Amino acid sequence: MSSAAMELNLNAVLPELVMVVAAAVVMLVDILNRGGRSVTRPFLPWVALAGVAVTAGVSIWLLGEPVSIFQGMLITDGRSLALNLVTLTGAALAILLSIRYIPAVNNQTGEYYALILLITSGMMVMGAALDLMVVFLGLEIFSMGLYILAGLKRSDLRSNEAAMKYFLLGAFASAFFVYGVAFVYGATGSTQFDAIAAAQAAGTADLSFLYVGIALLIAGFGFKVSLVPFHMWTPDVYQGAPTPVTAFMSIGTKAGAFAAFYRFFVTGVPDAQPVWGWALAILAVLTMTLGNLAALRQTSLKRLLAYSSIAHAGYILVGLATATPAAIDGALYYLISYAFMNMGAFAIVILLERQGEMDALSNRLAGLSKTHPQLALVMSVFMFSLAGVPPFAGFFAKFFVFAAAVEGGWSWLAAIAMLNSAIGAYYYLRIVVSMYFDEPTAETLTESPNYSLPITVTLGIAAVFTIALGVLPSLWTNLVETGVMGTLALR
């Protein structure tokens, strides 16, 4: 061990540390203010939001020199910080959406916000991991929190069912994941990405074990980001879980898992690229196609967004399969724009839900432009962006990823992805058409929706950034670039 490895630069784990401390503070504040069991503590979400804001500030402050810690098990560089910003955006908007929603679902709000912060820290750990052990820990930290949050409404059978399905299948997938880690370790003698790559380069790695390990890891990873054929849990869990949790889940799990796996594939097993590149490309084709086709026939808005999130996981996977720096940065841009547009869409679903409901059917949108014109307009922005219509963020997200795929020699994959975007456009635009050209029916939302300041703010932020990132993609790319340059200098 060199002296550089021995010294502990805590800056490398500072965002995660701040997040965990914030979660502890939320729990403490919660306990110190418990008069009776039903006393609501309306300031808790703001404490949690402050924690998110401080962590985001720390992440932006750290942009620049990459630092690694614990003998290279964790690294903080441009990409991990960019990922932090994606998950923190998801967490902040989810907290805003929860302020009105969660007290009606479950009175014990303290645990809820603490869990959101701890889950976020798990996702951030995944984005910074350079060792399969750390990836596994991050994966489990956020999965276990999400199992609990999916079942937050204990009096509701659907919510319980969502938790049950998510837990049983999630634990099953975790077992495959660790088995994969064990095989990669057996093949190379290490779980650290650099050492794994070095063992392959030196020819000491047992390739059959390595490929079995990679296959098992892809299965475990595919489950977490709901790639077809590991997606069966997604629609049920998305539908049954409380809507803010669903919104958070759809963004955070993708960001964390994609970050960890890009690092594993690109820095850990670069020599096996012909194998995993094709495996991921085939999974991407299956995921996009099945996600989009299944979304066509959904009536529940949350299930529709669930299948749409499966399809978007496929588009992001196109970037991961290509694995050039441009493709990875494209995927990062995809994640941040997806965070804003999807959060916005889920915020609308929350507004469309009637008292006591945790879901809304798509016919509630019929003729919405006549009853609630502003709501219909904002929803159209998110739908156009999800469909990939310029000038919204969703268009440039797809453009960056697919263009990088063409340059990286995956033209056929980009072509299939574009065909799929066309299928996707059909069901997103059908919602817009239904809002603007259908007559309001008995199901249409005519009463005033449950507007509250936090939800309005969320909608505003989501809409503004969906448009701003589309008009000025350099807002994001400039921010990330400084850090990414630093990463290249390190290698």
Partner 1 sequence: MVPTGYYLILSAIIFTIGAVGVLSRRNALIIIMCVEMMLNSVNLTLIAFARQWDNLNGQVFVFMVMAVAAAEVAVGLAILIAHFNLSKSTNIDDVNVMKW
CB of 188 to partner 1, least distance (A): 9
Using rule CB under 8 A, residue 490 touches partner 1:
no
Candidates 98-106, 180-188, 250-258, 429-437; binding stretch for partner 1 (CB under 8 A) = 180-188
Per-residue x/- track, 146-165, partner 1 (CB under 8 A): -xx--x--xx-xx-xxxxxx
For residue 391, is the peptide bond before it cis, meaning its omega torsion is within 30 degrees of 0? yes
Shortest spacing between CB 102 and partner 1, in angstroms? 17
| Cβ at position 217, least distance to partner 1 in Å | 13
Does 185 contact partner 1 by CB under 8 A? yes
Nearer to partner 1, 41 or 165 (CB): 165
256 binds partner 1 (CB under 8 A): no
State the nearest-atom distance from the C-beta of 223 to partner 1, in Å. 13
Contact set for partner 1, span 45-84 (CB under 8 A) = none
Rule CB under 8 A: choose which of 174, 243, 309, 322 binds partner 1: 174
Considering the complex, what minimum distance in angstroms separates the CB of residue 168 from partner 1?
6
Q: Which two tokens stand for residue 363?
A: 């016919």
- Token pair of 443 as six digits: 């199901």
Q: What secondary structure, in 3-state letters, does the chain show?
A: CCHHHHCCCHHHHHHHHHHHHHHHHHHHHHHHCCCCCCCCCCCHHHHHHHHHHHHHHHHHHHCCCCEEECCCCEEECHHHHHHHHHHHHHHHHHHHHHHHHHHHHCCCHHHHHHHHHHHHHHHHHHHHECEHHHHHHHHHHHHHHHHHHHCCCCCCHHHHHHHHHHHHHHHHHHHHHHHHHHHHHHHHCCCEHHHHHHHHHHCCCCHHHHHHHHHHHHHHHHHHCCCCCCCCHHHHHHHHCCHHHHHHHHHHHHHHHHHHHHHHHHHHCHHHHHHHHHHHHHHHHHHHHHHHHHHHCCCEHHHHHHHHHHHHHHHHHHHHHHCCHHHHHHHHHHHHHHHHHHHHHHHHHHHHCCCCCCCCEHHHHCCHHHHCHHHHHHHHHHHHHHHCCCCCHHHHHHHHHHHHHHHCCCHHHHHHHHHHHHHHHHHHHHHHHHHHHCCCCCCCCCCCCCCCHHHHHHHHHHHHHHHHHHHCCHHHHHHHHHHHHHHHHHC
Among 17, 24, 178, 429, binds partner 1 (CB under 8 A): 178
Cβ distance to partner 1 smaller for residue 163 or 310: 163
21, 29, 60, 133: which one binds partner 1 (CB under 8 A): 133
Q: Which of 183, 193, 392, 400 binds partner 1 (CB under 8 A)?
A: 183
Q: Which is nearer to partner 1, 117 or 139 (CB)?
A: 139
Binding range to partner 1, per CB under 8 A, among 168-176, 272-280, 310-318, 435-443: 168-176
Q: Is 190 in the site for partner 1 (CB under 8 A)?
A: yes
Residue 167 or 264 with smaller CB distance to partner 1: 167
Minimum distance between the CB of residue 189 and partner 1, rounded to whole angstroms? Answer: 4
Q: Binding segment for partner 1 among 95-103, 179-187, 403-411, 422-430 (CB under 8 A)?
A: 179-187
Does 329 interact with partner 1 (rule: CB under 8 A)? no
Binding to partner 1 (CB under 8 A) within 213-252 occurs at 235-236, 239-240
Residue 453 CA to residue 467 CA, distance in Å, equals 21
CB of 173 or CB of 379, closer to partner 1:
173
Taking the complex as a whole, the smallest distance from the CB of residue 258 to partner 1 amounts, in Å, to 21
Q: Tell the smallest beta-carbon distance from residue 190 to partner 1 (Å).
A: 6
Closest residue by Cα to residue 454 from 101, 93, 96 = 96
Total residues contacting partner 1 by CB under 8 A comes to 38
Binding site for partner 1 (CB under 8 A): 133, 136-137, 140, 144, 147-148, 151, 154-155, 157-158, 160-165, 167-168, 171-172, 174-175, 178-179, 181-183, 185-186, 189-191, 235-236, 239-240
